[in-house]
Structure 1
Amino acid sequence: MDAAQTDFYARLAHAIAVQFGSNCEVVVHDLETNDPERSIVAIENGHVTGRSVGDGPSHIVLDAVKAGKVHKLSDRLAYLTKTTDGRILRSSTVFIRDADNVPVGILGINYDITVLAAAADTLNGMTGTGPNDDPTGDPEPIVRSVADLLDDLIEQSVALVGKPAALMSKDERVRAIRYLNDAGAFLITKSGPKVCKYFGISKYTLYSYLDEAKGDQD
C-alpha cells in the first residue's frame, strides 16, 4: 500500500477502536510489503491478540499473499476466532483494493466477546432444553508470531492426515506437505528446516515431496 492508503486506514482503525472501546482490536496488513512476516503496518488495541506493528502474518494474510493478484478474494464478516490464550473474538476481514481491484491490504476487526460468550453459555444452560451443536464450528486461531503460525499449520496438516508424523506413509507425508504448501507455510522464513525436522525427512526429500504434490495438482 502507498503512504496515503496506510495513513487513511491507520486513522480509520483508530476511529473504529475509539468508537467500540478497548475490547476492539483493529489491524491493518500491507499485502505489498517485501517482508510478509511483518505485514502489520497499523494496529489499535493490540493487547487483544498480543500483536503490534511489525508483527504478522495471520492465516488470512498468508492465503492472500500466496494467492497473489487474485480478484476473487472475498471479505469475511462476523466469524469467530480464538487467541492463543483462549479468548473468543468476533472478527471481520475486509480486503483493501487498488484501482485495478487487486487486494493490496487487509483491514481486520477483532472484538473480544469472551465475557459475553460465557454469559450466553450460562443463560443457555439455565434456559435451554438440551445441548446443541455450535453451527459456527471451531473458532479460527489468531497467532502472535510466525513461529506460532507455522506450528499451527503443521498441527493442521497432521490432523488432516489423522496420524502422527512418525507413523505416516510416504503418500501421507506428501499429503501433509501439500497442505502446508497450499496454506502458504513455505512463505515463512526457515520453515523448510522445521518441517523437515518435524516429519523426519531431509531437505532433498522435502523438495521431492513438494514436486510430487505440485505434480498431483497439475
Structure 2
Amino acid sequence: MSSDILQHYTILVEFLGKALGPDYEVVLHDLSSKDFAIAAIANGHISGRKAGGPLTDAALRMLSSKAYETDDFLSNYRGIAPNGHILRSSTMFIRDVENRPIGLLCINFDDWRYKELTEKMLSIIHPESYLEQHPAYTQPLLQRTVEKPALQESPAAITENFSMDIPALMQKIFDDATASLETPVDRLNQFERREIVEQLNEQGLFQLKGAVSFVARKFSCSNATIYRYLSEISA
C-alpha cells in the first residue's frame, strides 16, 4: 500500500467490521495497486471476496465516469451478492492532499437475516393456514425488501456485482455489453465491434490490465485493432 493515508483506513475497516457486525461488509480498495485490488476487508463472507480481490463493476464505472470529481461518496445503491442476496451498498472516495483519488471505502449491508426474522414474526403472529390463504399479506413486504429496496436515484440505476477475480470481472462486463447481440461476437463487423469497445470503455473495462488482449480474443482480432478503436473513440 503506497499511501500513509490508506494505512489509517485499514484500521477503520477492522473497526467498522466489528462495530457494525457480521451483516456489514467493509472494504478498502487501493487505487494505486494492480487492478485497484482490495487492500483490507472485514466480513468478506458477504461477497465471498478476500484481500487482493478485484473491485466491482460499479466501482469501475464510478472511476471511469470520474464521479469523484462531483461527489465525495455514493450511498444506498443496489448490490447483488454471489448468493443472490440484495445488498445496500455505499462507496466513499478517499483522496490525497492534492485531492486525487487514492482509495475507495465501501460498505455493503446484507439485511437477509432481518427478512427471515420478519417472516418468523409473522408466523408467530398469524396461523400458518391464514398466511397460506392470504399470500398477499406477506408477499408485498418481501417483494418490497428483496426486489425493490429503497435506494437513491442518483447515480441512475446503479447495480453492483461482485466478482472473485479479474477474469470473472472482465467476463461479466463483456457479457453485459454484448447480451443483446444477435450475431456471435467473433462475427461482428468493424462498426459493431467499435460500438461494443466504446461501451466497454465507458464501463471502465480498459482500466484493467490485460483487458485489451481479453477483448481482442473475444472478437478474434488483433490487439492493435482494439487500440485503434480506443484511439478513435478518444479523438
Query: TM > 0.5 between the two?
Result: yes
Which structure is higher in RCO with an 8 Å CA cutoff and minimum separation 6?
A: 2
Normalised TM-score (structure 2):
0.74
| Equivalent residue letter for 1:199 | F
- C-alpha distance in structure 1 between counterparts of 2:116 and 2:78, whole Å: 14
Counterpart in the other structure of 1:152: 172
Q: Aligned match of 1:198 in 218, 224, 228?
A: 218
- C-alpha distance in structure 2 between counterparts of 1:69 and 1:157, whole Å: 21
| Residues paired across the two proteins, number | 211
Q: How does 1:97-112 map to 2 (within 5 A)?
A: 97-112=95-110
Aligned-residue offset at 1:154: 0.3
Aligned-residue offset at 1:45: 1.0
1:54 aligns with 2:52: yes
Q: How does 1:173-212 map to 2 (within 5 A)?
A: 173-212=193-232
Is the 8 Å Cα contact of residues 62 and 184 (structure 1) preserved in structure 2?
yes
Counterpart in the other structure of 1:213: 233
Aligned-residue offset at 1:88: 1.8
Aligned-residue offset at 1:28: 0.7
Aligned-residue offset at 1:106: 0.9
Which ranges in structure 2 are unaligned for 5 or more consecutive residues?
Answer: 123-134, 152-156
| CA gap 1:48/1:39 in 2 versus in 1, 3 angstroms | same
Counterpart in the other structure of 1:126: 137
Give the alignment's Cα RMSD to 1 decimal.
Answer: 3.2
Is the 8 Å Cα contact of residues 95 and 107 (structure 1) preserved in structure 2?
yes
Counterpart in the other structure of 1:18: 18
Which ranges in structure 1 are unaligned for 5 or more consecutive residues?
Answer: none
Counterpart in the other structure of 1:96: 94
Counterpart in the other structure of 2:154: none
| CA gap 1:120/1:171 in 2 versus in 1, 3 angstroms | farther
Between structure 1 and structure 2, the one with the greater Rg is: 2
Q: Aligned match of 1:75 in 73, 76, 79?
A: 73
Normalised TM-score (structure 1):
0.79
| CA gap 1:4/1:170 in 2 versus in 1, 3 angstroms | closer
| CA gap 1:166/1:183 in 2 versus in 1, 3 angstroms | same
Aligned-residue offset at 1:199: 2.1
Is the 8 Å Cα contact of residues 205 and 211 (structure 2) preserved in structure 1?
yes
| Equivalent residue letter for 1:126 | Y
| Equivalent residue letter for 1:11 | I
SS at match of 1:93: strand
Counterpart in the other structure of 1:40: 38
| CA gap 1:111/1:70 in 2 versus in 1, 3 angstroms | closer
Is the 8 Å Cα contact of residues 216 and 223 (structure 2) preserved in structure 1?
yes
